[in-house]
Chains A and B, each alone.
Chain A
Amino acid sequence: MTKPGDKMTWKDVEIGSIVTEPGSASQYQTGDWRSQRPSLNRKKCIRCGICYIFCPEGCITQNAEGYFESNLFYCKGCGTCACECPTQAITMEQEE
């Protein structure tokens, strides 16, 4: 994309609103749909990866220390990870 979508004027729109660059969904910040964010308590986390498996957005990845973290650019705050966590290490906190 020549410009981010929310900066494009009507003159920047391709003919027929045709998208000429593939993979544009990866640039789409679904994180701003969120009203609650997941918060991880590392003392309770057993690094089992269940949250990673259940995340419907596929936005959880394992970091170098072995903990699973949500990418907040994409995380919609659905709470599935908190619900599935066997040790209640993940809680949902209100976004300000």
Chain B
Amino acid sequence: MAKRVGIEVSQAIAEAVKMANVDVVAAYPITPQTHIVEHLAQLVADGELDAAYIPVESEHSAMSACLGASAVGARTFTATAGQGLELMHEVLYVASSMRLPVVMTVANRALSAPLSVWCDHSDAMAIRDTGWIQIFAENGQEVIDEVLCAFRIAEDQRVLLPVIVYLDGFLLSHMIEPIYMPEQDEVDKFIPPYQHLLPLNPDKPVTMGAFAPPFIYSETKKAQEVNLTAAKEVILQCWDEFGNIFQRHYSPVDCYRAEDATVLLLTMGSFGETATVAIDKMRNECRNVGLVNLRLWRPFPFAEIRQAVSKAEVLIILDRALSFGGPAGPVCSEIKAALYNEDKKPKVISFVGGLGGRDITPDGFEQIINRGIEISQTGSKQEYEMYGVRE
């Protein structure tokens, strides 16, 4: 039976990675992710985790080292945030294209300049199209659960793709939460050993990352895209099985008091926890509002999103990142695109807020919902509004 312990989420991630019996950790410390790799380094140094810990000179090298390790069949983990994720950028494409199931946690952090170590989703949005499976966690328990699922999903031979679990920097990474930590034997049973289909092996040599002329490159990309899209079924199966074993259930899209709601608020990450307080308050005042939380960011859950919002009249989307000069926040753009050809769809209102660690309180979510309803009736001159900016 799992024990519930008070533990910092970053430390709990390191413990979960240890339980997953990872072989190689290559990482470079960067706030607010540092506690994760610091604790892993400690576990390796103390002999509690039998793994190679490679303290590399940059995040670009961290990801490159992970690729090499994964290619020979080692279970591989790294963690980063903000600028570090951007420095990894080009290597992220290589991981997904070569089908190397690296698992990474990203403690979301705003991008410079001005320098900010605090949370927003700009770092995640900049690497949206790198071909990784990407999951946004809402609270500490979910981070731990998703990290365990990430190894199983990534290494499934039908998938063999890298996975990122996003956790909001500081808001989750540095929070001490009561977390159910699983037993070692449960984890051993849940995550089978990793076997790549075509590993680097001197007895059976292969070439990874070869050159592809124009006559074959498109075929390789189509194969990659089909594989990532098909991974959704495996993700759903993994979450089902996780739910059966651990009694915590996950789905691509979560709905909270949303079934009969005419107005829906949609968020990602830790916003969802706070927003439920506002939804409860407004429901008590007989306001017909609900909350949708988007967990699976890639592969994008088109069917689940369409189903979740189909009955609403107004859908208010709060992005934690800005797409400069673009139509709206990046999450809102995608959901608008997913709904555009639907016969029945809500009016979609876009907000951007919570940038660079700015908190949004339950009162704030209530203001956003009220302003969203107002815009849906009167219209707005802007493509989106930024919440909480001093005018």
**Contact present for B198 and A20 (CB under 8 Å):** yes
Residue of A nearest to B208 (CB): A18
Please, which residues of chain B bring their CB within 8 A of the CB of A31? none
Please determine whether B223 and A11 come into contact, CB atoms closer than 8 angstroms: yes
Quick one: given A5-B213, A10-B226, A22-B205, are A16 and B219 in contact (CB under 8 Å)? no
A30 to chain B, nearest CB (A): 10
Best-buried of B205, B208, B210, B216 by chain A (most CB within 10 Å):
B216
B219 and A15 contacting across the interface, CB-CB below 8 Å: no
B197 proximal to A (CB < 8 A): yes
Would A15 and B160 count as touching, CB distance under 8 A?
Answer: yes
Residue of B nearest to A12 (CB): B219
From residue 328 to 365 of chain B, which have CB atoms closer than 8 A to chain A? Answer: none
Does residue A2 face the partner (Cβ distance < 8 Å to B)?
Answer: no
Any B CB within 8 A of the CB of A46: no
Q: A9 in the interface, Cβ–Cβ < 8 Å?
A: yes
Contact of B97 among A16, A24, A28 (CB under 8 A): A16
| CB-based contact A8/B198 at 8 Å | no
Chain A neighbourhood of B99, CB < 8 A = 15-16, 18
Contact B100 A13 (CB under 8 A): no
State the Cβ distance, B202 to closest chain A Cβ, in Å: 12
Q: How far is the CA of A18 from the CA of B220 in the complex (A)?
A: 10
Given contacts A10-B222, A10-B223, contact A18 B198 (CB under 8 A): yes
Contact B215 A17 (CB under 8 A): no
Taken together as a complex, chains A and B put the C-alpha atoms of A92 and B160 apart, in Å, by 50
Interface centre among A5, A10, A17 (most CB of B within 10 A): A17
Is A6 in contact with chain B by the CB < 8 A criterion? yes
A5 to chain B: closest residue by CB: B216
- The answer on a CB contact under 8 Å between A19 and B216 is no
Residue of A nearest to B218 (CB): A10
Residues of chain B lying within 8 A (CB to CB) of residue A28:
213
CA gap between A78 and B216 in the complex, in Å: 25
- Which residue from chain B places its CB closest to the CB of A20 in the assembled complex? B206
Q: How far is the CA of A28 from the CA of B207 in the complex (A)?
A: 16
> Within the complex, what minimum Cβ distance (angstroms) separates B343 from chain A?
32
Those of B219-246 within 8 Å (CB) of chain A: 219-220, 222-223, 226
Residue A65 at the B interface, CB < 8 A? no
Sorting the interface of chain B by its residue count into under 10, 10 to 19, 20 to 34 or 35 or more gives 20 to 34
B32 CB to closest chain A CB (Å) equals: 32
A17 near B97: Cβ-Cβ < 8 Å: yes
Residue in A5, A14, A16, A22 whose Cβ sees the most chain B Cβ within 10 Å: A16
**When chains A and B are docked, how far (Å) is the Cα of A18 from the Cα of B196?**
12
Residues of A within 8 A of B208 (CB): 16, 18-19
Which residues 1-47 of A sit at the B interface, judged by CB distance below 8 A? 5-6, 8-20, 22, 24, 28
Q: A18, B207: Cβ atoms under 8 Å?
A: yes
Given contacts A5-B216, A6-B215, contact A19 B206 (CB under 8 A): yes
Of A6, A11, A15, the contact of B216 (CB 8 Å cutoff): A6
Docked CA distance A20–B200 (Å): 10
Say yes or no for B113: interface residue by CB 8 A criterion. no
Closest to A17 in B: B220
Instruction: Report yes or no: B206 in contact with A17, Cβ–Cβ below 8 A.
Output: no
Q: Does A17 contact B98, Cβ atoms closer than 8 Å?
A: yes
A20–B204 alpha-carbon span in the complex (Å): 8
Q: How far is the CB of B95 from chain A (nearest CB, A)?
A: 10
Contact between chains at A16 and B216 (CB < 8 Å): no
Chain A nearest CB: distance from B265 CB in Å? 40
The answer to whether B212 has its CB under 8 Å from any CB of chain A is: yes
CB < 8 Å neighbour of B207 from A8, A11, A12, A19 = A19
Interface residue ranges of A42-96 to B (CB < 8 Å): none
Nearest-CB residue, chain B, relative to A6: B215
When the two chains form their complex, are residues B100 and A17 in contact, meaning their CB atoms are under 8 A apart? no
**A78 CB to nearest chain B CB (Å):** 19
The smallest C-beta distance from A7 to any residue of chain B, in angstroms, reads 9
Which residues in B have their C-beta under 8 angstroms from that of A9?
219
A–B Cβ pairs within 8 angstroms, 22 of them: A5-B213, A5-B215, A5-B216, A8-B216, A8-B219, A10-B226, A13-B216, A13-B219, A13-B223, A15-B99, A15-B197, A15-B198, A16-B100, A16-B160, A16-B198, A18-B99, A18-B206, A18-B210, A19-B207, A19-B208, A24-B207, A24-B210
Contacts beyond the supplied A12-B219, A13-B216, A20-B206: 13 A-B pairs with Cβ under 8 Å: A5-B215, A8-B219, A10-B218, A10-B219, A10-B220, A14-B198, A17-B210, A18-B207, A18-B208, A18-B210, A19-B207, A22-B205, A22-B207
**3 A-B pairs with least C-beta separation:** A16-B99, A19-B207, A10-B222
